[in-house]
Amino acid sequence: MSTETAAEGVLAGLGNTRVWQEAFYQDVHQHPELSHQEHRTASAVSERLRGFGFEVHEGVGGTGVVGKLRNGAGASVLLRADMDALPVKERTGLPYASTATAVDAAGDSVPVMHACGHDVHVTCLLGAAELMAGARDRWHGTLVVLFQPAEELGDGAKRMVTDGLTDLVGPVDAALAQHVLALPAGTVGTRTGSVLSAADSMRVTVHGRGAHGSMPQSSIDPVVLAAMIVVRLQTVISREIAPTEPAVLTVGSIRGGTKSNVIGDRAVLELNVRTYDESTRNTVMEAIRRIVVGECQASGTPSDPEFELFDQFPATVNDAATTERLHTGFTAYFGDRAQELPLQSASEDFSDIPEALGVPYSYWGLGGIDAETYRAAEAAGRVAQDIPVNHSPLFAPVIQPTLDTGTEALVVAALAWLGTDWTRRLLLPCSGQNQRSTATSTGSRCSASLTRITCGVASPAAWSITKGCAASGGSSTPVDGSPLSSPEKEIRTSCRVEDERLRSR
């Protein structure tokens, strides 16, 4: 029997997939589309998925696409990529840089750029879909690939859910997604628990009294009022939130007045809040209102301030067991290129999907910056200054090894639930005294000497009951004594094999 893992088997086709992926990526990069306008991208995605043999549903929540590939009984895994670009003028100087413009929701013509790297996500997920479809003897179960619109507005996932996503997708065991980040290309980073912040944007309108610039005594100056609010808001995080609790409050935009000698009658501030904890979120939002109202009273404004919430994102909190399984797969495949992802202050609406489906999820980071460039900046202590991050007009993921790594990561992640060899590799947990089980690419190992081992395998949905086998002295018996169907026989056999392997050590 071949010792090749399922991942190695599926990824043997990467050499062919890579050829069209690189061209496809550059094409999508040159044709970025704003949130809810991803028509060209969505139809390119649908066409390719159909070609790979997926059942394809288009127009889900607007421009969303869901592809489904059934491959016998087993678990079901959902992989998600977002598709939208940003109103940013690209300044990367790349030969395939975007010069595109589009009309935004407000009716203005704006430059458009894939400044968040969602073109990487689309390309990698399509590549993974082709590879999985081309190696169906290496896995069983159902693969769901989801291409989501409008992540940048925070409502793309919700719109897919409202449009009947749950019925369309069916039962799923795990939902997974990745994001390209300003980290060394070739690496992937997982993180258990909090990984991305919750985000809230708030528009605050304060009212003053307009007058001639030479007669301030007749005015209530909204520009001075807005300036005081901006300064006072700096104390929310620094004075009201514990230093151990991460939170961000940014005033991203301030608009007031039209001319140097005219005192206007209003000012509008746009704020952005990032938090990881619901009570911190409430404290910050409440403090903002209190300070704005207080400053308006101090200025004696003729009417109350107005508050409008928009672009709200939930916190992303990775499930521990799902992330552990993912990390085990990544470590086996990538070695030390599988790392721990630092806590991110950005936000995502991905978690709206698993929340609606009622399934655990994990979201990991994918490096996109040339590794040497990154290391040099790191050595000089200049990462923050020299490495353009997502949303920068200079953000430019290197094509390779970024696309390869992102594609490999998705395949390895899916196979952690669907791979034919996974049950042999992941025999968790070990029950017994002081035993710790570690899955490796060749098998599962327990760190303490064994007298008895219980191997349990999380059951794919189709098997309805989680069965395991208790092995003692090299013999194994099914825990519940019920007849074994063929996949379970595999498990039972592997338990015996693993047990013998452990005893022979």
Whichever of 280 and 347 has its CB closer to Zn ion, that residue is: 347
Task: Report, in Å, the least distance between residue 391 CB and Zn ion.
Answer: 6
3 state DSSP class of 55: strand
What is the spatial distance between Cα 409 and Cα 331, in angstroms, rounded to a whole number?
11
Phi-psi region of 306 (alpha: psi -120 to 50; beta: other; left: phi over 0): beta
Q: Which pair of structure tokens corresponds to residue 166?
A: 């749950």
Q: Which long-range contacts (CB under 8 A, 24 or more apart) does 291-297 make?
A: 291/229, 291/232, 291/233, 291/236, 292/204, 292/206, 292/229, 295/206, 295/225, 295/228, 295/229, 295/232, 296/206, 296/207, 296/225
- Consecutive H or E run containing 181: strand 174-184
Residues 24-63 that bind Zn ion (CB under 5 A): none
| CA 463 to chain centroid | 29
Determine the Cα–Cα distance for residues 28 and 431; give it in Å rounded to an integer. 50
Give bridge partners of residue 455 from the DSSP assignment.
469
Are the C-beta atoms of residues 74 and 460 closer than 8 Å to each other? yes
Nearer to Zn ion, 71 or 407 (CB): 407
126's tokens: 């399509």
CA distance 303 to 317: 41
Only segment of 112-120, 251-259, 402-410, 494-502 that touches Zn ion (CB under 5 A): 112-120
- CA proximity to 80, closest of 151, 9, 139: 151
Query: Which among 9, 8, 326, 3 is positioned nearest to 136, based on CA atoms?
Result: 9
Tokens 């035993």 sit on residue:
435
**Least distance to Zn ion from the beta carbon of 297, Å?**
37
Query: Which span (90-98, 116-124, 239-247, 308-316) binds Zn ion, by CB under 5 A?
Result: 116-124
Nearer to Zn ion, 133 or 160 (CB): 160
Least separation, in Å, of the C-beta of 379 and Zn ion? Answer: 28
Q: Which residue's structure tokens are 């514990």?
A: 242
Name the nearest CA neighbour of 143 among 190, 81, 74: 74
Give the residue with the Cβ less far from Zn ion, 198 or 226. 198
Site for Zn ion in 271-330 (CB under 5 A): none
Closer to Zn ion by Cβ: residue 161 or 366:
366
Burial class of residue 355, CB neighbours in 10 A (0-12, 13-18, 19+): middle
Shortest spacing between CB 201 and Zn ion, in angstroms: 13
β-bridge partners, 198: 275
Using CB under 5 A as the criterion, what x/- string covers residues 396-425 for binding Zn ion? ------------------------------
Query: Which residue's Cβ lies closest to Zn ion?
Result: 116
Our CB check for Zn ion shows the closer of 119 and 499 to be 119
Considering only the stretches 28-36, 40-48, 108-116, 231-239, report the one whose residues sit in contact with Zn ion under the rule CB under 5 A.
108-116
Least distance between Zn ion and beta carbon 386 (Å): 21
Three-state DSSP state, 417: helix
In the complex with Zn ion, which residue's Cβ is closer, 151 or 488? 151
**How many residues contact Zn ion, by CB under 5 A?**
1
By beta-carbon proximity to Zn ion, the closer residue of 60 and 181 is: 181
We find the least distance from the C-beta atom of residue 118 to Zn ion, in angstroms, to be: 6
Residue 81 in contact with Zn ion, rule: CB under 5 A:
no
Which window, 113-121, 183-191, 288-296, 437-445, contacts Zn ion (CB under 5 A)?
113-121
Stretch that binds Zn ion, among 110-118, 365-373, 375-383, 486-494 (CB under 5 A): 110-118
Place of tokens 């490096």: 367
Binding segment toward Zn ion, per CB under 5 A, in 109-117, 185-193, 332-340, 447-455: 109-117
- Closest CB 11 distance from Zn ion, rounded Å: 25
Largest CA distance in the chain: 95
Nearer to Zn ion, 153 or 288 (CB): 153
Instruction: Rule CB under 5 A: say whether 116 interacts with Zn ion.
Output: yes
What track of x and - describes contact with Zn ion for positions 3 through 22 (by CB under 5 A)?
A: --------------------
Stretch touching Zn ion by CB under 5 A, among 57-65, 114-122, 201-209, 395-403? 114-122
Judged by beta carbon, residue 116 or residue 359, the one nearer Zn ion is 116
Candidates 25-33, 111-119, 318-326, 422-430: pick the segment binding Zn ion (CB under 5 A). 111-119
Amino acid identity of residue 80, one-letter, is R
Contact present, 413 and 329 (Cβ < 8 Å): yes
Cβ neighbours of 66 (radius 10 Å): 24
Binding of Zn ion by 112 (CB under 5 A): no
Pick the closer one to Zn ion by CB: 85 or 411: 85
Residues near Zn ion, by CB under 5 A: 116
